[in-house]
Structure 1
Amino acid sequence: MTLGEASLLERLAADEESVRGQLESLREQVAALEERLSDLATARRIVAPMLVGHSRPEQAPSGGTPDAPTHASPEEAVPAPKPVAGLDKQVVVIMASSGRTMRAKEVAQALGEPDVRGRVETTRARLKRLTALGWLTQHEPGLFSIAAGINGHVLGGVANDEA
C-alpha cells in the first residue's frame, strides 16, 4: 500500500467516525424531541377537557370539527393497553405516525435496524407482542397497524396523543 492510499484510508476512517458521532448526536436530539412531544401531548390531554366547556364551537381544537367532539367520554373510553417503554414505545410511535399498515421489515427499517432476516424476525416478534398487549392490530398475517382507540392512552407512563 502506498503512502497516498494509506492517507486516503485514514481520512475515510476519520470521516466515518465523525459521521457516526453526528448520527449519535442526532439520535439523542430526536429522543429529547420525542420526550418533549409526549409531554406536550400529555398537557393537551389534560387541558383540553377543561377548555371544552368554555370554548365557542368555532374554536374547536385542532383535528376536530365544531360539531364533532374530539375526546371520547369516560363511558366510551377503550381500556388502556399495558404500558410500554423503550424500543416498544418507538415501534408504537412509528406505527401511529405512519397512518397505515406496515410489515415487520418496514418497521425494522424505520427503527434503523440492519436489513437482515434475524432483525426483521425480532421486529416481527415485537409487533406480535405489542398486538397481544393491545397496542397494535394484525389485519392479516404480517400486516400490522396501530389499534383503534390508542390516541390518548398512557404510553410508557406518559400519554402520547400522537401514538
Structure 2
Amino acid sequence: MGSLFEELEAREAAARVLAEELEAELAEVAAKLKLARESLERLRIARETVAEVLAEMTPGKSVAVTGAGQPTAGEPVASAYAGAERQVIGVLTVPNWQPGIGPELLPSVYRDILEVVADAPGPVRAKQIVPRIGLPAETGKIEGTRAKLKRLVEWGWLDEDTPGMFTLARRRGGVSTNSR
C-alpha cells in the first residue's frame, strides 16, 4: 500500500485530467454555441428584411428594379417589367398584363398554360389543360391548374366568361407563345 501522499497525488492527477477533458468539451460546445447564435442572427435579419420588402410590395404599387435585379431606394429605374404592377407569390413576382409585356416574363408553367389556351379552338377547362402540360389527370393537379388559371385571369392574361371556361384575354388580340 502506498503512502497517503501518493494516493492524494494520484487522485489529484486524475482530477486534473478530468478537468482538462471537461474544459476541452466546454470549449467545443462554446464554439458550436457561437456558430448557432450567428446562424440564428442571420436568419432573424433575413426574415425581417423579407418582411420589410413584402410589406413595401403591396398590390397596385410598382417596384423599381435595377438592371442587376436589385430594388432601388425610391428612384424609378427602367426594368424588364417596364412599370408593370407585380403581385407577390411567395418570393416570385409576376407582372399584370400590360401592352408591350410578353408571356416570357411569366414562369414556365404559366407560359405552358397560355400556350395550350392559345392553341385551343375555343374555351378550355382546367381538366383539359392538365394532360397537355404534362401533368397526370389527378384531382390535385387539376385544382392546382385551375388556381393558376384563375390567377392568370386576375392578372389580365386570360378571360373567364363562363365559370371554369378559360380563353385568351380578348383586349390584346392574342398572345405570342413563340417567345419561349
**TM-score bracket for the superposition, by shorter chain length:** 0.3 to 0.5
TM-score by structure 2 length?
Answer: 0.39
Structure that is richer in helix per residue: 1
Larger radius of gyration: 2
